[in-house]
Amino acid sequence: MTAGYFPTGSLLRHVQEQRPVGQTYGQRALIIGATHPIPYVGTSDSTRSKEKPFQRLASTATAFEVIYFGTREQADALLAQVHQMHTRVKGSLARDEGIHPKGTPYDAFDPELMLWTMAMLADSSRACYEALVRPLSPAEREELWTDWVRFGELFGMPRSVAPASAGEFDEWMADKLASAELHLTEEARVVGLAIANDMPVPVLMRPGVRANNFVVRGLLPPRVRDLYGMRWSPVHEAAFRGIAAGVRASRHVVPERRRVGGNRQLFALVSRTERSILARGGTTMDLPT
């Protein structure tokens, strides 16, 4: 077995090992990612498991942790599976979605769409780390961005499509978040709000998950909250900043808060809880038909 693509010492691995990051970045990335209708529709139309959305999301999160923390052999086996799945993600919009007319094509191997997917992860990784762990230096931001570009390349994204520096990436993100490209389909709105508010977990864990969800909403760009119709007042902002400061401070005084590693147990718990709900005849997300 060989070391992974992000061995001990790589900044991406270090950032993703921090529990506050691992427990928030994925939600943030998915909520923002759903605001671009072309990749959202492409992924949604290709899935075979719409009735169990949280199991699908947990499986994706687990797969990403194989890339972050696994050996090259483990990562390569997973990447081959993902490549095969992506061959099915090709088609066109069935209706107008915002500024994107009916018939607009989508393809999982479109370089710009691959960049969008990677960018949502990269931006969320950095945002969650800086809000809940500590600020990164300019040099660390560059190193982290370089690692994320490498991550995108593993999935087939051409390096040439990615912004050349962390600063250019920040400008790219700002332009995207301000652009008319963003639009929520009816389904994406339902899915994004469910990810933000309704992750299935056992009853005893729900208070903690509600607090986590509040932090994730605080980490969202204002434009994204507006698109979903999420209410966010100065009082909410003050509470979020207080919680984030408390999380950062607690890591210095409570050793348990400095635990690092993956979140497979949490992802598995979410999957089991959804399976249990579905087995009882319930649903975890009322998708539009």
Distance CA 69, CA 4 (A): 7
Could you write out the DSSP letters of every residue in 170-222? HHHHHHHHHSTT----HHHHHHHHHHHH-----GGGHHHHHHHHHHHHHHS-H
> Which tens digits make up the pLDDT trace of 178-222?
999 999 999 999 999 999 998 888 888 889 999 999 999 999 999
Whether residue 240 is contained in a domain is answered as yes
At residue 35, what is the residue type? T
Assess whether pLDDT exceeds 80 at residue 288.
no
User: What is the structure's pLDDT at 267?
Assistant: 87
Q: Is the pLDDT of residue 234 over 90?
A: yes
The Cα 111–Cα 114 span in angstroms is 5
DSSP state of 70: S
Q: What does residue 196 show for φ and ψ, rounded to 5 degrees?
A: -75, -30
Question: Is residue 61 predicted with pLDDT exceeding 70?
Answer: yes
| Exposure of 40 in the CB half-sphere (CA atoms within 13 A) | 24
The answer to the question of residue 287 being in a domain is no
Q: For 102, list phi and psi in degrees, rounded to 5.
A: -50, 135
Q: Is residue 3 a part of any domain in this protein? A: no
- Give the total number of structural domains in the chain: 1
- What is the percent of the chain where pLDDT is above 70? 95
Q: How large a percentage of the chain has pLDDT more than 90?
A: 75
Report residue 32 as tokens: 């923002």
Assess if residue 6 is contained within a domain.
no
> What CA–CA distance (Å, rounded) separates 100 from 96?
6
Task: Express each pLDDT in 33-43 by its tens digit.
Answer: 999 999 999 99
The residue range of the domain holding 225 is: 11-279
How many residues are listed for the chain in this entry?
289
284 within some domain: no
Beta-carbon neighbour count of residue 222 at 10 Å?
11
How many CA within 13 A on the CB side of residue 272?
A: 8
* Mean pLDDT value across residues 137-166: 98
| Average per-residue pLDDT for the chain | 92
Task: Note the pTM of the prediction, 2 decimals.
Answer: 0.93
Tokens (6 digits) for 193: 């709000």
Distance CA 223, CA 59 (A): 28
Domain assignment of residue 231, yes or no? yes
Say if 234 falls within a structural domain: yes
Burial class (CB in 10 A: 0-12, 13-18, 19+), 204: exposed
pLDDT at 157: 97
**How many other CB atoms are found less than 10 A from the CB of residue 93?**
19
Is the pLDDT reported for residue 67 higher than 60?
Answer: yes
In degrees, rounded to 5, the angle at the alpha carbon of residue 64 between the alpha carbons of residues 6 and 130 is: 70
- How confident is residue 1, by pLDDT bands cut at 50, 70 and 90? low
Short-list 74, 120, 73, 60, CA closest to 264: 60
Q: Are the beta carbons of 58 and 271 closer than 8 angstroms?
A: yes
Residue 90 has pLDDT above 90, yes or no: yes
- Would you say residue 4 lies in a domain? no
Mean pLDDT of 4-32: 95
Element (H, E) at 152: helix 138-154
